[in-house]
Amino acid sequence: MSYELRTGTPQDCRGIFETHLAAFTIESGSARWERARRLAFDCPHEHVVMVDDRGGVIGVVHIGDEWIQVGRCAVLKGDVGSVSVRPELQGQGLGTRMMRWTVEHLRGSGYHLSRLGGLMHFYSRFGYEPFPRRFVEVDLQSVRGGGRRIPGSEIYGDPGEWPGEVRPYDEARDFAARVRLRCEFDAGRSGARQVSPEAEPPEHPAPPDPQAMRWVYERDGAVLGYLFAVESPMEARGEETVFSVAEFACDQAHPDAAGALMRTLLSRVSEHEPARVTSRLPFDQGLVEALQLSGVGLELSERHQAVAGNMILVLDLAATLRQVAPELSARLGDSLVADWQGAVEIAIPSRGACPGGDPAAVTAAAALPGEACRLIIAAGEVSVDDGPGPIDLRVEITQAQFVKALFGIAALTELAPIRQIDLTPTQRGLLDALFPRTQTGSGPWG
């Protein structure tokens, strides 16, 4: 039997859907089942498919596109998921073939980065490296206070009184405000999903649904925030009920908007105690303080998994740096080393299997060679050259470390390999200017 790999077409819709259902145990009619159906029938072109010599789909990989901001620029990430092979053909290396083809497809299609979640010993053979995830969570368990246990329903059962009004989201009335708030909330925030201010409203807007957890906060006729949440049974541990904040944005000049929306959600969730609310809100100190002052206790969680979890791949280092060069130039111009001139080489070694993984994977991963390119800094501008030439400073880091610095999760000078370099004060100032730690968006990269 021979197999062909290609991108999906409308004729593949049913095969994509049935292959995904066959590969995973998914309850018919569940949210996961509905998502698989929607992706298969609405977006077949977002899939890599493996077909047999009769044209039947026997394997599927989904690729989701997301532009992620780096300051005022953005890079394109391919989110890889739903890697599926029909059960009767599993164990024959077809998943490995699909993933190798998928990575080459991403590299040749203009993507800068790729992200996925899964078993690290398997996906490391294609060059992916472990990468952290961030969550902001509220746990509605009872807490001890004043010598007694206070249940979550007592803490959060009353949403409180606010200067404005929380009401159900009305798509026809609130869509433009939602887009505006999202753009303003994440303006210049590295690591956040890029949203176009010209987003078109839906042709058939949904009416307000008082039962849905979709609210806006309105004050003096102005919408100052919105929050959308859903129940997430796949995230539950034990007997708890888990709800996820799917979308949130607020006018940060009005901290009451954040407090009112979150308290409204927690009031609804408290009916399901024990319960937990999880979100990908940014680790933003202003937002954390606003929520804490509104009586919402938070846990900021950064998870570094080692067996199965989030992974990242840099598909093209030079193209990624070219994409963000205008932002690097602007950062340099605002710094104390704006007149520095020279070349900084950034190098990523060849991608191999993660520690503890299958030794045989190292050979497979060797097909992903190391990359190096130079940031040429002259007259206050940063450009990128991937050819040989003079170097004033060389930085060698893993691709996961590079992405942490790219999104501002960590400053470049905080990373272990850079701490081992004997930098001059000027060199340290230069690297801090180009790749500083910032208040980073927490969703699309994890």
* pLDDT at position 153: 81
When comparing pLDDT for 89 and 144, which is higher? 89
Residue 436 in this model has a pLDDT that exceeds 90: yes
Angle at 158 between CA 236 and CA 254, to 5 degrees: 95
pLDDT at 357: 44
* Separation CA 75–CA 90 (nearest Å): 34
Q: How high is the pLDDT of residue 352?
A: 61
Alpha helices (H) along 316-409 = 317-333, 360-365, 399-407
> Is the per-residue pLDDT at 7 higher than 70?
yes
* pLDDT-derived band at 234, boundaries 50, 70, 90: confident
Q: What is the pLDDT of residue 364?
A: 45
> Can you give the pLDDT at residue 145?
65
pLDDT of residue 367 exceeding 60: no
Q: 134-303 sits in which CATH class?
A: alpha beta
State the pLDDT at residue 360.
44
Is 3-111 assigned to CATH 3.40.630.30? yes
pLDDT value of position 152: 78
Per DSSP, 443 falls in state S
CB atoms near residue 214 (< 10 Å): 22
Average pLDDT over residues 156-167: 93
- Report the alpha-carbon angle 32-35-36, nearest 5: 90
Could you tell me the fold of the domain covering 315-434? Nonspecific Lipid-transfer Protein; Chain A (3.30.1050)
Long-range pairs of 194-200 with CB within 8 A, sequence gap ≥ 24: 194/66, 194/67, 194/68, 194/69, 194/74
Per-domain residue ranges of the chain: 3-111, 134-303, 315-434
| Residue 155, pLDDT above cutoff 60 | yes
**Is the pLDDT assigned to residue 363 strictly greater than 60?**
no
CA distance 215 to 230: 12
Say if residue 359 is preceded by a cis peptide, omega within 30 of 0. Answer: no
Measuring CA to CA, which residue among 340, 363, 355, 346 is closest to residue 426? 340
Token match 């919105």: residue? 226
Question: What distance in Å separates the CA atoms of residue 438 and residue 406, rounded to the nearest whole number?
Answer: 10
Which phi and psi (to 5°) does residue 166 adopt?
Answer: -95, 125
Give the pLDDT confidence of 192-204 residue by residue, as tens digits. 999 889 889 999 9
Nearest to 398 by CA among 380, 387, 383, 412: 412
Q: Say yes or no to pLDDT of 11 above 50.
A: yes
Cβ atoms 63, 52 nearer than 8 A: no
pTM comes to 0.91
Secondary structure in 3-state letters for 106-165: HHCCCCCEEEEEEEHHHHHHHCCEECCEEEEEEEECCEEECCEEECHHHHHCCCCCCCCE
Q: Which H or E run includes 76?
A: strand 73-85
SS3 call for 383: strand
The pLDDT tens digits for 114-127 are 999 999 999 999 99
User: How confident is the model over 38-42, as a mean pLDDT?
Assistant: 94
Predicted confidence band at 144 (pLDDT cuts at 50, 70, 90)?
A: low
Tell me the C-alpha distance between 186 and 184, whole Å. 6
Phi and psi angles of residue 105, each rounded to the nearest 5 degrees, phi first: -65, -45
pLDDT of residue 361: 42
For the cut 90, the answer to whether the pLDDT of residue 78 exceeds it is yes
Instruction: List, in order, residues 6 or more apart from 29 with CB less than 8 Å away.
Output: none
Tell me whether the CATH fold assigned to 3-111 matches the one assigned to 134-303.
yes
Q: Contact at 8 Å (CB) between 395 and 434?
A: no
**In this model, does residue 366 exceed pLDDT 70?**
no
Instruction: Give the pLDDT confidence score for residue 147 in this predicted structure.
Output: 66
**Does position 160 have pLDDT exceeding 70, yes or no?**
yes
Check: CB of residue 130 under 8 Å from CB of residue 289.
no
Segment 53-68 mean pLDDT: 95
10 pLDDT higher than 50: yes
Nearest by Cα to 107 from 129, 82, 76: 76
* Average pLDDT of every residue of the chain: 92
- Once rounded to an integer, what is the mean pLDDT over residues 386-411? 96
**Which is more confidently placed, 435 or 158?**
435
